Structure 1
Amino acid sequence: MVISDDALIKRFKYANGTLKNKYHETDAAKLRFIEYKVVNQRLVWLLNHHDQLTIQSFSELVKIHQFLFTPIYAWAGEVRDYELSKGDTEFMLSPAIAKGIDHVNHLLAQINKQTKPTAMDYAQLLDSLNYLHPFREGNGRATKAFIQLLAANHGQELRFNRQDELVIRALAAADLAVLADFIQLKPVGSKQAVIQKISAELEKKGQHYQTYRPPRR
């Protein structure tokens, strides 16, 4: 079923273009602050309870997205049934999403067979998830947590270099070599040590988002 642009706008946005949310916040800047603060807190909780979540299939990404964004959006964890684009980038057409999910599951199975996956293995997964772009918003943060937890299962600390125009262009062009350079892998003996380090950094970062400060004009 093709959903019109007008129907999508009515479904997801207020009249001023801000995403509809459970806080009924129509100021986009305030919503970004709320979203960051809430998602950061829930991500810290998720990392500290990571044993409850194994990364075996795409369904775990759905669970992560739903957990992170449920307090804010009614559609958290819902895989899209409509077309989506950002700037000049068009993501996978909705009729192909089921096959796209199958491909992601195939990549995950291949990664989980390995003792120490490479940056290229994770780059292929990142590229496939980016093109799939299964959720209305929050794909990047959910995917980052998903891949970091996957790497931690293999005793690896996975970091992303600073997101810049080069990486954005690489994602748009599916340039796996650049994406692999974007990923930093560090072998760590303990999965728990990796998780605790990332969690502590997120907690520290979250301390700067306790009070809303209007953006400078």
Structure 2
Amino acid sequence: MTLENKLGISNAVELARLEEKLSKAQAHKLFTSGFLDTLNAGSFQALASIHEYLFAEIYAFAGKVREVNIAKGNFRFAPVMYLAVSLKNIEAMPQTTFNEIIEKYVEMNIAHPFREGNGRSTRIWLDLILKKELKQVIDWQRVDKNDYLMAMERSPVKDIEIKYLLQQALTEQIDSAEVYMKGIDASYYYEGYTLYKTEDIADDTEA
């Protein structure tokens, strides 16, 4: 079943293609415009703003908390009836150390506040917190897809794997456009979006 969208597309493959192209262009603008640095790192509003920025052209629900229950495989994300409370509690979690930040990230992943685009938005949100608190970000192209997905799947029970994996990929190149754009491509690759490179889309939109 294809998600209802502003583009009027009923074909799932076509929707995925356009979603990747449009949202990657927005991801590039998110960085170059300076808007990302105006957000309150670690807040839910920051995550909602990122999600809306990426997907507003595609989905009416961009930046809005979901009103349906969702699951991935056998895992059910936070039930809608508890979602508002969960988000408030996650926002209040400490974020002064690497371990605290990853624990907060894991909890936000369990909450999964949006209908679609959670992983891609939340990875940008995570880097925003790391940048503010530790003056570091994750170089996502150094994080293996399968290792990441398996570690995230196990993270609600045991987060040591995801902490180790992400710590090995930390970089101090927090203002590098190259690290950011290649990171976006890696983030999208985790979700199966591989048709476009963010750098190429950015060149096309600026031409």
Q: Compute the TM-score of the two structures, normalised by the length of structure 1.
A: 0.75
Q: Which range moved further: 150-159 or 72-81?
A: 150-159
**TM alignment of 1:197-216, pairs within 5 A:** 197-201=178-182, 202=184, 205-206=197-198
Number of corresponding residues:
183
**TM alignment of 1:1-217, pairs within 5 A:** 17-48=1-32, 49=34, 50-107=36-93, 110-111=94-95, 114=96, 117-118=97-98, 120-153=99-132, 154-160=134-140, 161-164=143-146, 166-171=150-155, 173-184=156-167, 185-186=169-170, 188=172, 191-193=174-176, 196-201=177-182, 202=184, 205-206=197-198
The structure whose Rg is larger is 1
Q: Which range moved further: 79-88 or 133-142?
A: 79-88
The gaps in structure 1 that reach 5 residues or longer are: 1-16, 211-217
Instruction: Decide whether the 8 Å contact of 2:151 with 2:159 is kept in 1.
Output: no
Q: Compute the TM-score of the two structures, normalised by the length of structure 2.
A: 0.78
CA distance, structure 1, for counterparts of residue 154 and residue 88 of structure 2: 23
- Please report how far the alpha carbon of residue 42 of structure 1 lies from its aligned counterpart in structure 2 after TM superposition: 0.6
Q: Give per-residue Cα distances to partners, 1:31-88, cap 9 Å, x unaligned.
A: 1111111111111111121333231411110111111110000111110232111211
CA distance, structure 2, for counterparts of residue 20 and residue 75 of structure 1: 9
C-alpha RMSD of the superposition: 2.4
Give the secondary structure class of the aligned counterpart of 1:74.
coil
Q: Which range moved further: 156-165 or 91-100?
A: 156-165
Instruction: Decide whether the 8 Å contact of 2:66 with 2:115 is kept in 1.
Output: yes
Give the secondary structure class of the aligned counterpart of 2:145.
coil
Q: Which residue of structure 1 aligns with residue 193 of structure 2?
A: none
CA distance, structure 2, for counterparts of residue 155 and residue 197 of structure 1: 17
- Please report how far the alpha carbon of residue 95 of structure 1 lies from its aligned counterpart in structure 2 after TM superposition: 1.6
Percent identity between matched residues is: 24
CA distance, structure 2, for counterparts of residue 90 and residue 46 of structure 1: 30
AA aligned to 2:64 is E
Give the secondary structure class of the aligned counterpart of 2:129.
helix
Give the secondary structure class of the aligned counterpart of 1:149.
helix
Structure 1 outlier segments of 4+, above 4 Å: 207-210
Instruction: Decide whether the 8 Å contact of 1:127 with 1:174 is kept in 2.
Output: no
